[in-house]
Amino acid sequence: MNLQPARGTRDIYGAELTAFKQVENTVRDFAKRYGFGEIQTPIFEATEVFCRGVGETSDIVSKEMYTFSDRGGESFTLRPEGTAGVVRAFVSEGMAQNLPVKLFYAGPMFRYERPQKGRYRQLHQAGVEILGAATPQTDVEVLCLAWDVLCALGLGGNVRLELNTLGDAESRAAYRDALVAYFSQYREQLSEDSRVRLEKNPLRILDSKDEGDKKLIENAPEMTAYLNEPSKAFFDEVKTGLDALGIPYVVNPRLVRGLDYYRHTVFEFVTESLGAQGTVLAGGRYDGLVRQMGGPETAGIGFGAGIDRLALLITELGKVDPEPRPIAVVPAGEDAVLPSMKAAHVLRQNGFIVDEAYTGNMAKRLKKANKINACAAVIMGGDEIAKGVATVRNLDSGEQKEVPLTDLPAALESFR
Ligand code: ATP
Ligand code: MG
Q: Per-10-residue mean pLDDT for the chain, 416 residues long?
A: 93 97 98 98 96 73 92 97 96 95 98 96 98 97 98 97 94 91 94 91 88 93 93 97 98 81 92 92 94 93 98 97 96 94 97 95 95 97 93 97 96 93
Q: Are 283 and 399 in a shared domain? A: no
Q: Are 269 and 385 in a shared domain? A: no
343, 376, 339, 371: which is closest to 357 by C-alpha?
A: 371
345, 327, 328, 319: which is closest to 416 by C-alpha?
A: 327
How far apart are alpha carbons 281 and 279 in whole angstroms? 6
Residue 159 in any domain: the answer is: yes
* Residues 292, 261 contacting (CB under 8 angstroms): yes
- Residue-level pLDDT at 82: 96
Residue 219 in any domain: the answer is: no
What lies within 8 Å, CB to CB, of 273 at 6+ separation is 158, 313, 316, 317
Pocket test for ligand 1, best of 123, 150, 155, 281 (most atoms within 8 A of CB): 123
- Residue-level pLDDT at 54: 57
Give the DSSP letter of residue 396. Answer: T
Residue 193 in any domain: the answer is: no
Domain boundary residue, one of 263, 282, 316: 316
Q: Are 305 and 343 in a shared domain? A: no
- Residue-level pLDDT at 256: 84
Question: Containing domain of residue 343, as a range?
Answer: 327-415
95-127 tens-digit pLDDT: 999 999 999 999 999 999 999 999 999 999 999
Residue 211 in any domain: the answer is: no
- Residue-level pLDDT at 288: 86
Ligand 1 pocket at CB < 6 A = 81, 111, 113, 118-120, 123, 125, 258, 277, 279-282, 304, 306, 308-309
- Residue whose CA lies nearest to ligand 1 atom number 15: 306
Q: Are 21 and 111 in a shared domain? A: yes
- Residue whose CA lies nearest to ligand 1 atom number 25: 119
Residue 241 in any domain: the answer is: yes
Please tell me the total count of domains within the chain: 2
Q: Are 164 and 283 in a shared domain? A: yes
* Residues 330, 156 contacting (CB under 8 angstroms): no
Long-range contacts of 392-400 (CB under 8 A, 24+ apart): 395/328, 395/369, 395/370
- Residue-level pLDDT at 258: 62
Q: Are 265 and 371 in a shared domain? A: no
Report the alpha-carbon angle 355-361-367, nearest 5. 55
Q: Over the chain, what is the mean pLDDT?
A: 94
Distance 380 CA to ligand 2 centre (A): 57
In which element (H, E) is residue 102 found?
strand 101-110
Q: Are 287 and 410 in a shared domain? A: no
In which element (H, E) is residue 240 found?
helix 229-245
- Residue-level pLDDT at 53: 66
How far apart are alpha carbons 365 and 356 in whole angstroms? 8
146: domain CATH number is 3.30.930.10
- Residue whose CA lies nearest to ligand 1 atom number 23: 306
